[in-house]
């Protein structure tokens, strides 16, 4: 349908008498806001591209299976603490995360709780690498639980995050192995 010049002028004149100049200004602002929203929404729907120089995540190897306990969970023995702590650190380093230091706390077994090792550390790296390390820890380290995770970045333009982690590795006590 082609509108003639006369029809457009009549439409504008009727709109001006009905809405006034401020009405036309409001309509123009609505159109501009709609176009702007459509552009932003289109950018938001596009997938985030990773840097080309960043290598792909290291996939976790097959997890080491320890014998199951009476509750069906596989837990490491108390004498394997050093091995597990080394494994936790090696996973972080293999994912390209910066591992400056960590605090370790050994908690003895209680009446209702098994012995455990608490690991507090701060890691720095990209979010995909951190996520890969978390997935690899959960798969490979028997009895590992993530007690606390706090992520922060300096600004939204920076890809690197700083993660403050509190991991707990539950251990099978040597005295509980002899029980029926």
pTM of the model: 0.54
CB 103 within 8 A of CB 117: no
CB 114 within 8 A of CB 173: yes
Per-residue pLDDT tens digits for 66-113: 444 444 457 777 767 778 888 888 888 888 888 888 888 888 888 888
Beta pairing class for 115-126 and 144-152? unpaired
Percentage of the residues of the chain whose pLDDT score is greater than 90: 13
Which pLDDT value is given to residue 51?
57
- The whole-angstrom separation of Cα 102 and Cα 129 is 19
Q: CB under 8 Å to 56, separation ≥6 — which residues?
A: none
């Amino acid at each position: 349908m082609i509108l003639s010049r006369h029809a457009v002028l009549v439409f504008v004149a009727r709109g001006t008498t009905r809405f006034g100049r401020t009405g036309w200004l409001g309509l123009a602002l609505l159109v501009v806001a709609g176009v702007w929203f459509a552009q932003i929404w289109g950018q938001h729907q596009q997938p985030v591209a990773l840097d080309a120089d960043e290598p792909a995540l290291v996939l976790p190897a097959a997890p080491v299976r320890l014998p199951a306990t009476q509750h069906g969970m596989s837990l490491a023995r108390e004498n394997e603490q050093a091995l597990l702590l080394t494994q936790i650190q090696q996973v972080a380093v293999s994912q390209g995360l910066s591992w400056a230091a960590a605090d370790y706390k050994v908690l003895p077994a209680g009446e209702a709780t098994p012995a455990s090792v608490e690991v507090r550390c701060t890691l720095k790296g990209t979010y995909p690498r951190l996520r890969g390390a978390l997935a690899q820890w959960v798969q490979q380290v028997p009895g590992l639980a993530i007690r606390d995770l706090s992520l922060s970045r300096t600004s939204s333009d920076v890809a690197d995050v700083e993660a403050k982690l509190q991991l707990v590795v539950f251990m099978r006590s040597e005295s509980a192995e002899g029980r029926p």
